[in-house]
């Protein structure tokens, strides 16, 4: 289980631009849940992911995984338990390295660095097998530099690489936003497949309401650092895009827009 307990987060503290994003915010995500998070810009979606991953510090409160307090655990140590795929396909892979080198790098995440070959030849067939499951023909391009691949191919690789080593949570930070609609659909299908096969607890921030409704078993809408909608299981299955749009319109009116 992932727990955010009584979270407080301020930006630009002590200046005229000081802003309180989270004020006593709490959230629990159960093991095996696939949570879609929606909300307008500035609602706290990505900041919540950054707090979970340790990319930004808390001002108060606690973050726990499986009952263990990781509030003060550095980001690089959390990455051993958390996989993350970013909006920008370039952030999850190294463009100047080959597919094989990228796969090897991901395969060794969390392991001690020693003076040895960067690529274990005994693992090459395993990498081919994993890449072939993506259905993009990447298994035949092991020596091609990742920088020449399409955005969709790189995002598929980033998804695969983030889940190669055992992790407890998968964080998807608008990971289809930079892709064309057809490629985005392919990546979402791959995402759903990986999550189910590996039984991953997943948090997906998205602006695509169709994906938010179709995928996962829980939906949360954020607004000004609060969860103003939280639907899970059967309630989530019955949720329609129109209901989410109505909530967005209601918020817009309340904010004077």
Over the stretch 193-250, which tens digit does the pLDDT of each residue have?
A: 999 999 999 999 999 999 999 999 999 999 988 999 999 999 999 999 998 998 888 8
pLDDT of residue 107: 87
CA distance 70 to 21: 21
Res 108 pLDDT > 90: no
Which residues, in sequence order, are bridge partners of residue 85?
172
> How far does Cα 110 stand from its chain's mean position?
19
Place of tokens 């500035």: 42
Res 119 pLDDT > 80: no
Q: What is the pLDDT of residues 164-201, one digit of tens each?
A: 888 999 999 999 998 999 999 999 999 999 999 999 99
Which candidate, 63, 45, 53, places its Cα nearest to that of 7?
63
Please give the DSSP secondary-structure letter assigned to residue 32: T
pLDDT of residue 254: 62
pLDDT of residue 112: 60
Beta strands in the chain (DSSP E): 2-11, 19-29, 34-39, 60-65, 68-69, 82-85, 169-173, 201-205, 218-223, 226-232
What lies within 8 Å, CB to CB, of 70 at 6+ separation is 54, 63, 64, 78
Q: What's the mean pLDDT when you consider all of the chain?
A: 89
Which candidate, 140, 195, 96, places its Cα nearest to that of 204?
195
CA distance 181 to 207: 13
Q: Determine contact, residues 79/169, Cβ cutoff 8 Å.
A: no
Place of tokens 């987060």: 9
Res 115 pLDDT > 50: no
Which residues, in sequence order, are bridge partners of residue 68?
65
What percent of the chain clears pLDDT 70, i.e. is strictly above it?
Answer: 93
CA distance 193 to 175: 15
Residue 39 Rama label (left phi>0; alpha psi -120 to 50; beta): left
pLDDT band of residue 111 (cuts 50, 70, 90) is low
Which residues, in sequence order, are bridge partners of residue 11?
19
CA distance 72 to 52: 11
Average pLDDT score over residue span 53-74: 93
pLDDT of residue 241: 92
pLDDT of residue 114: 52
pLDDT band of residue 256 (cuts 50, 70, 90) is low
Q: Determine contact, residues 159/190, Cβ cutoff 8 Å.
A: yes
pLDDT band of residue 50 (cuts 50, 70, 90) is very high
pLDDT band of residue 99 (cuts 50, 70, 90) is very high
Res 255 pLDDT > 90: no
CA distance 60 to 44: 16
Question: What are the backbone dihedrals phi and psi of residue 145, each rounded to the nearest 5 degrees, phi first?
Answer: -70, 140
Q: What is the pLDDT of residues 11-25, one digit of tens each?
A: 888 888 888 899 999
Place of tokens 């991901």: 106
The pTM is what? 0.88
């Amino acid at each position: 289980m992932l727990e955010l307990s009584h979270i407080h987060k301020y930006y630009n503290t002590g200046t005229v631009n000081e802003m309180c994003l989270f004020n006593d915010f709490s959230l629990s995500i159960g093991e095996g849940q696939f949570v879609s998070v929606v909300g307008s810009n500035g609602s706290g979606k990505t900041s919540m992911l950054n707090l979970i991953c340790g990319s930004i510090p808390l001002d108060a409160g606690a973050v726990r995984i499986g009952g263990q307090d990781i509030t003060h655990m550095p980001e690089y140590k959390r990455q051993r338990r958390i996989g993350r795929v970013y909006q920008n396909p370039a952030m999850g892979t190294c463009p100047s390295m080959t597919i094989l080198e990228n796969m090897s790098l991901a395969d060794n995440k969390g392991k001690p660095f020693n003076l040895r070959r960067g690529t274990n030849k005994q693992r090459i067939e395993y990498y081919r097998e994993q890449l072939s499951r993506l259905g993009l023909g990447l298994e035949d391009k092991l020596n091609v530099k990742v920088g020449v691949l399409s955005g969709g191919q790189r995002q598929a690789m980033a998804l695969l690489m983030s889940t190669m080593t055992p992790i407890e949570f998968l964080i998807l930070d608008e990971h289809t936003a930079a892709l064309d609609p057809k490629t985005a659909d392919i990546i979402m299908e791959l995402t759903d497949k990986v999550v189910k096969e590996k039984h991953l607890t997943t948090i997906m921030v998205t602006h695509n309401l169709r994906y938010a409704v179709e995928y996962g078993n829980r939906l949360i809408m954020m607004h000004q650092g609060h969860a103003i909608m939280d639907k899970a299981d059967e309630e989530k299955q019955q949720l329609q895009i129109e209901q989410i749009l109505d909530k967005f319109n209601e918020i817009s009116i309340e904010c004077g827009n």
